[in-house]
Amino acid sequence: MNLIDIRQGEWPRFALAFSYFFFLLAGYFMLRPIRGTVAANHSEHLHWLYTATFISMLLIVPVFGWLVAKFRRGRFVPGIYLFFISNLVFFAFVFKGDATGDWIQYSFYVWLSVFNLFVVSIFWSFMADIFRPGQAQRLFGSIMAGGSLGAISGPLLTANWVADIGSGGIMALAITFLLVATAFAIILGRFERRQRHDKPAKIIGGSIWEGAVHVFKSKYLLLISLVMLSHNLTATFLYNGLAVLVDQNIIGFVERTRFFSYVDLVVQVLAFLFQFLITSRLVIYLGMPRTAILPPIILAAGFALLGSSLGLVLFASVQVAQRALNYGLLGPVKEMLFTVVERETKYKSKNFIDTVVYRGSDVTASWLFKGMMTAGLSISQIAWVYIPILGIWSIGAWHLGKAYTRLKGRLESTTG
C-alpha cells in the first residue's frame, strides 16, 4: 500500500506545496523556543501579552481584507511574507538573549504570535484554493507532514546552536528559511497560473469586513469557530501552565530555550507520524465526524491525569500530546473543512477565524487562567474546570463533521 495516495498530475503541485510548508515552518519553529523563553521570563504578564496580540490582530485584519480585495493572490501572498521578514531583520539586530530589554521581549512575543497565525493561515487558504475536497482528504495530511519536518528541523537547530550563535544568529537563519519559503510560494503561484493557460487568479474583491460578517451568518463557520475556541481554551491553559512551571524549575535563557526546543521537537516528530501515516486514512475510513471528535476525547483523559497529579514532566507530556494532536490531526482536518466553501470564504472568513477568533480565545483563556490562579486555585484544580469544555468541543466537532460531509457531497454532485 502506498504511503501517500498521489495520483497522476498531482506530483508537481504536491512537491511545491510540501517544500513551501517545510521552509515556512522551519523558519517559524527556529523562533518559537525564543518566544517560549520570553513567556517563561514573563509568565506573570502573559495575559497582557495575549491581550496585546489580540489588539494587534484586530488592527491588522482589515488591512489583510483590503489586500485580498484589491490584489491578486500572486501579489498579496509573497508581499505579506516579505513584510514580516523585514520585521524579523529588526529583531535580529536588537535581541540579545538575557540582556534583551523587557519591551523588546514583549514586542517579539506579540510579533511572532501575529506572524505565525497570518503566514500559516495564508498558506492554507492558498492550499484550499488550489486543491479540491477529495484531493485535500488524500494530500493535506502529507503536505502538513512537510511542515512538521520543517518544525522538527527548526527547534533542533535552535537547541544545538543557540549557545554558539545567540538569538540574533538564530533569527538570521530563520530569515533565510523564510525567504526560501516565499520563493516557493511565488513558484507555486506561477505553476498554478500555467495550469490555467496563463490566466491569472481572479481578484477576490468585496468589502474588507465581508469575511467577518459571513462568519456570523454561517452555521458552518460558527461551528468551526466553536471548535477552535474550545481547543484554544484548553491549549492556552497548557501553554500558560507550562510557562509557570518552567519559571519555577528551570533557570537561564539558554537552558529555557533548549527545554522549549526539545518540547517542540517531540511534538513535531509525533505530529509528523500522524500526518504522514495516520490522518488521511482516519478521515477516509472513519469519516470526518468520528475523526473530528478524537482530539477532545483523548485530551479529556490527559486533563483528568493533570487534575490528579502534577509535575513539570507530566504537564509537558500532556501539552506535547495536545500540540501533536493539533498539528497532526486537528490541523489537517480544519484545513479540509475550508475546501467545501466559496473562494472568498477561503481567504477572508478563514483568515478572520484563524486570527481574530483564534487570538480572542487565547485572550479569554489567559485571563481566565490568571483569574483562577489569583483566586487561589492550583494548576491541578484548574485542569478539572476544562473537562466540560472538552465535552462541548466533542459535541461541536461531531456536528461540524456531519456538516462537512453534507457540503462535500453537494459540491461533488455539482462538479461531478
Residue 219 banded pLDDT, cuts 50, 70, 90: very high
Torsion of CA 403, 404, 406, 408, to 10 degrees: 160
Q: How confident is the model over 384-402, as a mean pLDDT?
A: 95
Residue 30 banded pLDDT, cuts 50, 70, 90: very high
Q: How confident is the model over 247-267, as a mean pLDDT?
A: 89
Which single residue is written with the C-alpha cell 506535547? 320
Residue 221: all three cell numbers together: 463557520
Residue 240: all three cell numbers together: 500558560
Q: How confident is the model over 336-353, as a mean pLDDT?
A: 77
Strand, helix or coil for residue 342: coil
Quote the pTM value. 0.72
Residue 209 banded pLDDT, cuts 50, 70, 90: low
Q: How many residues does the chain have?
A: 416
- CA-to-CA distance for 83 and 93, rounded, in angstroms? 17
Q: How confident is the model over 154-166, as a mean pLDDT?
A: 90
**377-385 long-range Cβ contacts below 8 angstroms, 24+ apart:** 378/310, 379/241, 379/244, 379/245, 379/306, 379/310, 379/315, 380/306, 380/307, 380/308, 380/309, 380/310, 381/307, 382/237, 382/241, 383/237, 383/303, 383/304, 383/306, 383/307, 384/303, 384/307
Tens of pLDDT, residues 91-119: 999 998 888 899 999 999 999 988 987 78
Q: How is the chain split into domains, by residue range?
A: 11-201+211-415
Tens of pLDDT, residues 274-329: 877 788 788 888 889 999 999 999 999 999 999 988 888 899 999 999 999 988 88
- CA-to-CA distance for 365 and 321, rounded, in angstroms? 19
Tens of pLDDT, residues 358-390: 778 888 888 999 899 999 999 999 999 999 999
Q: How confident is the model over 195-211, as a mean pLDDT?
A: 58
Look at domain 11-201+211-415 and name its CATH class: mainly alpha
Residue 205 banded pLDDT, cuts 50, 70, 90: very low
